[in-house]
């Protein structure tokens, strides 16, 4: 199963299998931890952390990974590198940029020691995403261009598409929407060829963000609605929340301040349910429109509509966004 999870195709099918085997997986993880078997624990975690991220189980995934790294004797350096990659990403989504950067530094050191391009690409990616979080677009582009070069050399299609997507986000950070659309478009095509529905939907969402930056509300709406529909089908909370807040920004841009507040409140509640921050780039792009809508509506009416959004059932919020 671990080999299938690491492959470029079939992840969605395996995510379904893992969801059905949740209790057995937790038992296997517990046994490895109780036996202080770092290698087994981290090999399991290395195959599972993207599954945990997709399900919004950030804290649980990070706890297992950190447990595995703390055990002595240590796991192999290959398993350790995969674990650091996972911890870095989960920490990033939890707004713990310091931990993400620390994981990247440790990962880069091991990658250099083993002359491992894949691990070096992963370390550069973590550092680039932290740079985006800190609104340092120039640094992010430099780091993520280097990561893309390594991905091209490695030849793994999923890593190549993901490096293209990440570089596109760095261009969005610099408000360079033409470059962002081109690079994210390449990633979109790559995910389509691989059959990765989840990251295909993520590309649609970020193309929607690019349209928002260009104040093209109709295109942004179409892209974000497609993204939301896909994430609803995949039952991924993170992507669903990103699409909801993007569509809230569309409503704000179109002058529908009350609906913007309601959708933003629903997105916040969903993020709270799995203890994740709004990703920094999304917050900067959508936040400017939501702030204008709040000024238009006034603080009292905005708070009331926001609270109504937080009280909505998720299906109701999605229907409102797609209406």
- For the entire predicted model, the pTM comes to 0.92
Between 158 and 278, the more confident residue is 158
Q: pLDDT band for position 128 (50/70/90)?
A: very high
> Is the peptide bond between 86 and the residue preceding it cis, with omega within 30 degrees of 0?
no
End-to-end CA, the chain: 40
Q: What pLDDT is recorded for position 6?
A: 45
Q: Is the pLDDT of residue 10 over 70?
A: no
Identify the band that residue 111 occupies on the pLDDT scale cut at 50, 70 and 90.
very high
Domains delineated in the chain:
81-195 (1.25.40.10), 207-323 (no CATH)
Residue 155 DSSP one-character state: -
Confidence band for 15, pLDDT divided at 50, 70 and 90: confident
Q: How far apart are CA 49 and CA 318, in angstroms?
A: 27
pLDDT attached to residue 21: 82
Q: What is the pLDDT of residues 204-256, one digit of tens each?
A: 999 999 999 999 999 999 999 999 999 999 999 999 999 999 999 999 999 99
* 74 DSSP 8-state letter: P
- pLDDT confidence tier of residue 278, bands split at 50, 70 and 90: confident
- Looking at residue 277, its pLDDT comes to 86
Band (281; pLDDT cuts 50, 70, 90): confident
Please report, rounded to a whole number, the percentage of residues in the chain having pLDDT higher than 90: 85
DSSP annotation string for 176-198: -HHHHHHHHHHHHHHHHHHT-HH
* pLDDT (0 to 100) of residue 11: 64
Nearest to 34 by CA among 23, 43, 46, 26: 26
- Measured between alpha carbons, how far is 220 from 250 in angstroms, rounded to an integer? 7
* The predicted structure's pLDDT at residue 210: 97
pLDDT of residue 132: 96
For the chain, what is the mean pLDDT? 93
Instruction: Lowest mean pLDDT of 49-63, 151-165, 219-233, 293-307, name the range.
Output: 49-63
Averaged pLDDT for residues 138-156: 97
On the question of pLDDT at 196 being above 50, the answer is yes
> Are the C-beta atoms of 106 and 113 separated by less than 8 Å?
no
Predicted local distance difference test score (pLDDT) of residue 12: 65
Work out the average pLDDT over 129-136. Answer: 96
Tell me: the pLDDT tens digits for 53-92?
A: 988 899 999 999 999 999 999 999 999 999 999 999 999 9
At 5 the pLDDT is 47
Give the SS3 label for residue 265.
helix
Residues 130 and 115: their CA atoms lie apart, in Å, by 24
């Amino acid at each position: 199963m671990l080999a299938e999870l690491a492959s470029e195709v079939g992840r969605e099918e395996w995510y379904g299998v893992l969801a059905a085997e949740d209790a057995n997986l937790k038992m296997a993880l517990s046994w490895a931890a109780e036996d202080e078997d770092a290698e087994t624990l981290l090999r399991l975690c290395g195959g599972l952390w993207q599954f945990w991220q997709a399900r919004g189980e950030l804290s649980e995934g990070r706890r297992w990974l950190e447990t595995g790294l703390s055990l002595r004797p240590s796991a192999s350096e290959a398993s350790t590198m995969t674990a650091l990659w996972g911890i870095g990403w989960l920490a990033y989504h939890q707004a713990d940029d310091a931990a993400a950067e620390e994981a990247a530094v440790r990962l880069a050191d091991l990658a250099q020691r083993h002359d491992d391009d894949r691990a070096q690409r992963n370390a550069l990616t973590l550092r680039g995403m932290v740079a985006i979080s800190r609104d340092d677009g120039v640094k992010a582009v430099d780091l993520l261009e280097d990561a893309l070069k390594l991905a091209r050399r490695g030849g793994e299609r999923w890593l190549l598409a993901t490096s293209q997507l990440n570089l596109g986000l760095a261009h969005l950070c610099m408000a360079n929407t033409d470059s962002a659309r081109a690079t994210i478009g390449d990633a979109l095509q790559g995910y389509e060829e691989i059959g990765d529905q989840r990251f295909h939907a993520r590309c649609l969402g970020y193309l929607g963000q690019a349209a928002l930056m260009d104040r093209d509300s109709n295109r942004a709406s179409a892209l974000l609605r497609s993204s939301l529909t896909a994430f609803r089908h995949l039952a991924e909370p993170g992507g669903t929340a990103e699409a909801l807040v993007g569509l809230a920004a569309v409503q704000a841009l179109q002058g529908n301040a009350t609906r913007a507040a309601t959708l933003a409140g629903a997105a916040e509640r969903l993020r709270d349910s799995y203890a994740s921050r709004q990703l920094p780039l999304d917050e900067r792009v959508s936040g400017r429109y939501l702030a204008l809508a709040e000024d238009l509506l006034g603080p009292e009416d905005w708070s009331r509509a926001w609270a109504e959004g937080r009280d909505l059932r998720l299906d109701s919020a999605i229907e409102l966004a797609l209406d």
